[in-house]
């Protein structure tokens, strides 16, 4: 059977990525350089990501809100490090209604400043804390080297912003989001293993005191930052005068966090699980978990296919019935493989005559003849197995391409093929700069056992129990 025409990964990985995004109908380039049009199938995947993330955010006690797209330029200037960090990426509106604006406004690059201006109004006493807000929105950061989903001038995301009575409460919440929301979704829905750690001072979010991150390895052994959760300390609280009256009657500044993931997760999904035939979607995320394909429009076969689809749907499987017999069976199979649907249930007259259908797994390509009475059980079991198999494959790849080294020279060599784990003491004062010159970055800092380190800044880097995970990244 003819296969879809994708550039092989081994030949040109970036071109393979672009081919999948286009041919699986995930997205198109927008009319303005760096923007994108997310197509219905791509948006259906994003909606499922949204739903999984949103459910966990709300379970953490966070409420959704919405804040304006346009932010007065003066707001950004109230936190010096924040404006300095974002200045090169800003889109600024200077005219509106045919007139020059009295004050330029910035198209939202992130919402710390505008949200904190309202936190200052809403927070008066300890009874108002913690204040936990999230918004689903678009942001604009002017991108010089765009790539669909991975780096675009406009992208979609969620951004959470919270205020707390103490530094410990803020830190605990930032880490709760990192683990209970982000890591949980990445591992248990996207089937992507991640490394959790702390960013270096050079890599942390502009205006934060500490940035925590989830990092993943793509199929080409490069890293992708999947999501971050930041401790903001009292930087924005002081800039926006966000104070509260504590139980002793003392006026105090709040402690804050912010955190976000974006449509970059769509790019990760392609680059972690995709193969030379297209997407391979984890079943818990897939908009269509199983497609029932009618092989030929023979008498009785159409009714049998519809009955199988109805049974699966009644059992909670997201299913689509494909009866397009005017298109060749092989072409339809290739199309569903390209879109990464986890399972195919093939219904043909010869199999039906024997009382069976064929169940085909997208991840392995294996086919099994299944009695009609057992289809629902087989499909449910296979969907669980596919999630586990995809995760295990990605985890094994990450493990095999991660090397422990003890020198910068060895770290640079290892990073050509994956991740290098190097003691932070071996990095020295200039190690990060040296690696950066070679196109390598510190993805995160961990304890030697792979657990999260203490919050601290890079003065904690002298701790001999800490290691740096380094690699080339998107």
Domains assigned to the chain? 13-273 (3.30.930.10), 290-385 (3.40.50.800), 402-471 (3.30.110.30)
Instruction: Tokens for 223, please give them.
Output: 């890293």
Q: For residue 473, what is the DSSP state?
A: B
d(CA 312, CA 467): 48
Sign of CA dihedral 18, 21, 22, 24: positive
- Residue 457, pLDDT > 80, answer no
Q: What span, in angstroms and rounded, lies between the C-alpha atoms of 159 and 287?
A: 24
CA–CA distance from 289 to each of 15, 337, 367, 382 (Å)? Answer: 27, 12, 16, 10
Mean pLDDT, residues 193-222: 96
The 10s digit of each residue's pLDDT in 26-80 is 999 999 999 999 999 999 999 999 999 999 999 999 999 999 999 999 998 887 6
Q: Say how far apart CA 352 and CA 423 lie, in whole Å.
A: 62
Q: CB neighbours of 200 closer than 8 A, spacing ≥ 6? A: 432, 442, 445, 458, 468
Residue 88 confidence (pLDDT): 84
Alpha helices in 373-446 (DSSP H): 375-400, 408-414, 424-427, 431-437
The per-residue pLDDT for range 359-410, each reduced to its tens digit, is 999 999 999 999 999 999 999 999 999 999 999 999 999 999 999 999 999 9
**421, 442 Cβ separation under 8 angstroms:** no
Q: Average pLDDT of 303-318?
A: 97
Is 225 in contact with 213 (CB distance < 8 Å)? yes
Give the pairing type, strands 402-404 and 367-371: unpaired
Q: Above 60 in pLDDT, residue 458?
A: no
Q: Which residues pair with 391 in a beta bridge?
A: none
What distances in angstroms separate CA 257 from CA 114, 307, 386, 458, one per listed residue?
Answer: 14, 51, 36, 19
Confidence at 413, pLDDT banded by 50, 70, 90? very high
122, 114 Cβ separation under 8 angstroms: no
Q: How many residues does the chain have?
A: 474
Q: What percent of the chain has pLDDT over 90?
A: 91
End-to-end CA distance of the chain: 35
Distance between CA 283 and CA 386 in Å, rounded? 7
Q: What φ, ψ does residue 313 adopt, rounded to 5°?
A: -60, -40
**CA gap 188, 386 in Å, rounded:** 12
pLDDT digits (tens, 9 = 90+) for 65-104: 999 999 999 998 887 677 677 788 899 999 999 999 999 9
Q: Is the pLDDT of residue 5 over 90?
A: no
- Maximum Cα interatomic distance, the chain, rounded to a whole number of Å: 81
Q: Count the Cβ atoms, other than its own, within 10 Å of residue 187.
A: 16
DSSP per-residue codes, 314-346: HTT--EEEE--TTS-HHHHHHHHHHTT-SEEEE
Dihedral pair phi/psi, residue 188, rounded to 5°: -95, -10
Model pLDDT, residue 455 = 64
Q: How far apart are CA 227 and CA 175, in angstroms?
A: 12
Beta bridge partners of 367: 360
Q: What is the mean pLDDT of the chain?
A: 94
The per-residue pLDDT for range 313-330, each reduced to its tens digit, is: 999 999 999 999 999 999
Decide if pLDDT at 461 tops 50: no
Q: Is the pLDDT of residue 191 over 60?
A: yes
Q: Where are the beta strands (DSSP E) in 208-295?
A: 210-217, 223-233, 243-245, 251-253, 255-262, 290-294
pLDDT in tens, 138-150: 999 998 899 999 9
Determine the 3-state secondary structure of 343 from DSSP: strand
Rounded-to-integer distance, Cα 394 and Cα 191, Å: 8
Which residues, listed in sequence order, are joined to residue 71 by a DSSP beta bridge? 106
Q: Does residue 460 register a pLDDT over 80? A: no
- 12 has pLDDT over 60: yes
Beta-carbon contacts of residue 78 (< 8 Å; ≥ 6 apart) = 113, 239, 240
* Residue that is written with structure tokens 């401790």 in the block: 231
Give the chain's count of helices (H) and strands (E): 16, 23
Q: Which residues contact 350 (CB under 8 A, 6 or more apart)?
A: none
**Which residues in 125-248 belong to E strands, given as ranges?**
131-140, 154-164, 195-198, 210-217, 223-233, 243-245
Of 338, 387, 378, nearest in space to 359 by CA: 378
Element (H, E) at 39: none
User: Which pTM does this prediction carry?
Assistant: 0.94
What pLDDT, on the 0 to 100 scale, is given for residue 1? 45
Per-residue model confidence (pLDDT) at position 429: 85
């Amino acid at each position: 059977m003819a296969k879809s025409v994708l550039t092989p990964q081994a030949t040109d990985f970036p071109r393979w990525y672009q081919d999948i995004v286009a041919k699986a109908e995930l997205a198109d380039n927008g009319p303005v350089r760096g923007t994108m049009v997310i197509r219905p199938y791509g948006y259906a995947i994003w909606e499922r990501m949204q739903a999984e993330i949103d459910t966990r955010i709300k379970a953490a006690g966070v409420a959704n809100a919405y804040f304006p797209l346009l932010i007065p330029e003066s707001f950004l200037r109230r936190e010096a490090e924040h404006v300095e960090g974002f200045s090169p990426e800003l889109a600024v509106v200077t005219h509106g209604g045919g007139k020059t604006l009295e004050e330029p406004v910035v198209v939202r690059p992130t919402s710390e400043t505008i949200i904190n201006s309202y936190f200052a109004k809403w927070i008066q006493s300890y009874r108002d804390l913690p204040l936990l807000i999230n918004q689903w929105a678009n942001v604009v950061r002017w991108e010089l080297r765009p790539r669909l989903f991975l780096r675009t001038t406009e992208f979609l995301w969620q951004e959470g912003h919270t205020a707390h009575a103490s530094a410990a409460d803020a830190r605990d919440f930032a880490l709760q989001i990192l683990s209970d929301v982000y890591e949980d979704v990445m591992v248990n829905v996207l089937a992507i293993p991640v490394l959790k750690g702390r960013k270096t001072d050079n890599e942390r979010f502009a205006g934060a005191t500490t940035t925590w991150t989830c990092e993943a390895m793509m199929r080409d052994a490069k890293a992708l930052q999947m999501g971050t959760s930041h401790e903001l300390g009292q930087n924005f609280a002081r800039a926006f005068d966000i104070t509260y009256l504590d139980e002793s009657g003392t006026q105090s500044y709040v402690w804050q966090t912010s955190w976000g993931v974006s449509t970059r997760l769509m790019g990760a999904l392609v680059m972690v699980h995709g193969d030379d035939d297209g997407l391979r979607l984890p079943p818990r995320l897939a908009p269509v978990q199983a497609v029932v394909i009618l092989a030929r429009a023979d008498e009785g076969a159409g009714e049998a296919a519809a009955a199988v689809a109805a049974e699966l749907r009644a059992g909670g499987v997201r299913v689509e019935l494909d009866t397009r017999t005017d298109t060749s069976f092989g072409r339809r199979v290739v199309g569903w493989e390209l879109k990464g649907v986890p399972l195919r249930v093939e219904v043909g007259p010869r199999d039906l005559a024997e009382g069976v259908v064929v169940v085909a797994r997208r991840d392995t390509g294996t086919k099994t003849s299944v009695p009609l009475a057992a289809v629902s059980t087989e499909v449910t079991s296979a969907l669980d197995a596919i999630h586990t198999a995809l995760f295990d494959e990605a985890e094994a790849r990450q493990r095999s391409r991660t090397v422990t080294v003890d020198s910068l020279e060895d770290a640079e060599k290892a990073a050509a093929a994956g991740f290098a784990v190097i003691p932070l003491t071996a990095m020295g004062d200039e190690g990060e700069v040296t690696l950066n010159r070679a196109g390598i970055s510190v993805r995160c800092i961990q304890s030697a056992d792979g657990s999260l380190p203490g919050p601290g800044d890079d003065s904690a880097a002298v701790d001999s129990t800490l290691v740096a995970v380094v690699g080339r990244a998107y």
